[in-house]
Structure 1
Amino acid sequence: MSVRGDERGSATAEFAVVVPAVVLLIALTVGGLSAAGRQVRLEQGAAQAARLVARGEDAGRATGIVAAVAGGGVDAVTTEGDLVCVTASAPAGVPLPLPPLRARSCALSEGR
């Protein structure tokens, strides 16, 4: 089987077209997984912050917990009846056009 002269190098050209697309797909997948992991950490941080505030701890400590766990901050601490709710946000943390991550968690207060 002989290779015609006009087909030589076509595999290299196809490879040169496919590699950037595969690299972009891998980068987007890793970025999406990273943002999802940060969202989970933000939700856990908001839950811990809500429990701390419901126990009577300082709201500043709750902010520190969210910052340490997810790199975000507490947007609001509200009381709704017997519940203390914490709303937190954090940047997505990846160079993708994603909105800021948000989480809200409530805990039963100690009856104050």
Structure 2
Amino acid sequence: MRGGDRGSATAEFAVVVPAVVLVIALTAGCLAAAGRQVRLEQGVAQAARLAARGEPSDRVSAIVAAVAGGEIDAVSDDGDLVCVSATAPARVPLPVPPLRARSCALAGGR
């Protein structure tokens, strides 16, 4: 009988479990941020199409807010294109910059 190893499995388990939980939480946070980035890109693409058709700016802003919880930074003309840039918070408990997306659509398109 070895008395010196008694309880070592419990101690190792107590050290490993918080690390595993932290890795799982960070993975879930990164996946959530990636999903929000995809939604932001889709919202900005839809907003660019609406702006190119001449829709009111409040409707253009509302689509980005509804789809991704973001805000429009700029709507600009670039030749025949209307471009929309927007940002949204990543909403992960890490010091990460806000998510950004930009999309353009042909002006006057239907």
CA displacement at 1:94 relative to structure 2: 1.4
Aligned counterpart for 2:14 among listed residues 13, 16, 22: 16
Using the size of structure 2 for normalisation, the TM-score is: 0.96
Report the counterpart of residue 87 of structure 2 in structure 1.
89
Report the counterpart of residue 60 of structure 1 in structure 2.
58
| RMSD, aligned α-carbons | 0.9
Q: Deviations over 1:40-94 (max 9, x none)?
A: 0000000000000001101111110000000010000000110000000000011
Q: Deviations over 1:2-40 (max 9, x none)?
A: 4x1110100000000000000000000000000000000
Structure 2 gaps of 5+ residues are none
Aligned length: 109
Q: Which amino acid aligns with 1:54?
A: A
Report the counterpart of residue 79 of structure 1 in structure 2.
77
Using the size of structure 1 for normalisation, the TM-score is: 0.95
Distance 2:83 2:42 in 1: 13
Which residues of 2 match residues 38-49 of structure 1 at below 5 A? 38-49=36-47
